[in-house]
Homo-oligomer: A and B are copies of this chain.
Amino acid sequence: MTTNTTIPVLVNGSAEDRISSLDRGLLYGDGLFETIAVAGGRPRFWLRHMARLQAGCERLGIPCPDADRLAGEAQGLLPDVERCVLKIIVTRGTGGRGYGPPADPQPTRIVQRHPWPDYPASCREQGVRVRLCEQRLVPNPPLAGIKHLNRLEQVLARQEWDGTDIMEGLMADWQGNLVEGTMSNLFIVQDQQLVTPDLGRCGVAGIVRAVLMELAGELGLSVAVRDLGMTALREADEVFLTNSIIGIWPVIGLDEHAWSRGMVTRQLQERLAGLPEGDDQ
């Protein structure tokens, strides 16, 4: 797999892989994105992704492109593709005066088709080792939960390690509360309860995270959204990570702490995989 694989891209509906160097997405990170799994030729959890994109646009004051239009553009990139990753970026477009947004923004829509990443099956089946990143997440409620384009904290965190022994880094806030992974949400299982950090101050409210919180009841699990420190993590029965592409990865090690891929994680993996492909529930 070369790094120069051509990535098919539509910018504002045109077969074009470039954007203006005056786009506010570049100048300020003034925009949002979604990373969507395509399985069986259909974008998975499409409506949820569109709802989060819309919520993010509302938060930033960007007019959200019509979801049907984005769906059409996405489908235009998927005619004969079974499995891939769709990335959709929406920026506030060009214009305005410095940081001040234009009165009548014309958002830029970017739809990219990326190859399905080649993570080893062992990540899902046996689990992964993680590290605790030194880079912290800063509390910023106006930006919390949404998937905006200001991602330097994640870039710096991901620079902290190399190699494939460690597959993800956990990130804490300045108080030491664990928030999420650099690219995933964090769950623990403790006494038949699913616990995931509160994302009201920082973090990205993941799509699979929301799906699992809904599925939990069917498995007889209660769900708690609360602060989660290292002590709770160490004492957890099971630990796992989620995102739209990896699904669920059991966590089996962090420094000297070890966990097994437990029954609850396994059941959730099966339930998630068993949802109808492309279904939005």
Contacts and interface: CB of A to CB of B under 8 A. Distances in A.
Contacts of A26: 19, 23, 25-26, 89, 91, 149
Interface string A150-190: 11111111110000000000000010000000110000000
A278 interface: no
Contacts of A99: 151, 154-155, 157-158, 182-183
A263 interface: no
Interface stretch (A76-84, A140-148, A221-229): A140-148
Instruction: Kindly name the residue among A29, A112, A148, A174 whose own CB sees the greatest number of chain B CB atoms within 10 A.
Output: A29
Q: How large is the interface on A (under 10, 10 to 19, 20 to 34, 35 or more residues)?
A: 35 or more
Contact of A159 (B101, B139, B174): B101
Contact of A139 (B27, B150, B158, B174): B174
Contact of A158 (B91, B101, B148, B156): B101
Nearest to A111: B21
A29 B29 CA distance: 5
A257 interface: no
A135 B142 contact: yes
A217 interface: no
A100 interface: yes
Contacts of A24: 155
Given A9-B21, A30-B152, 13 more contacts: A3-B95, A18-B21, A19-B19, A21-B89, A22-B112, A26-B149, A28-B149, A99-B154, A99-B155, A142-B156, A143-B152, A143-B156, A150-B150
20 contacts: A9-B22, A17-B20, A17-B22, A19-B19, A22-B112, A28-B29, A29-B149, A29-B151, A29-B152, A30-B151, A30-B152, A99-B151, A99-B157, A100-B158, A100-B159, A138-B139, A138-B140, A143-B153, A148-B152, A150-B151
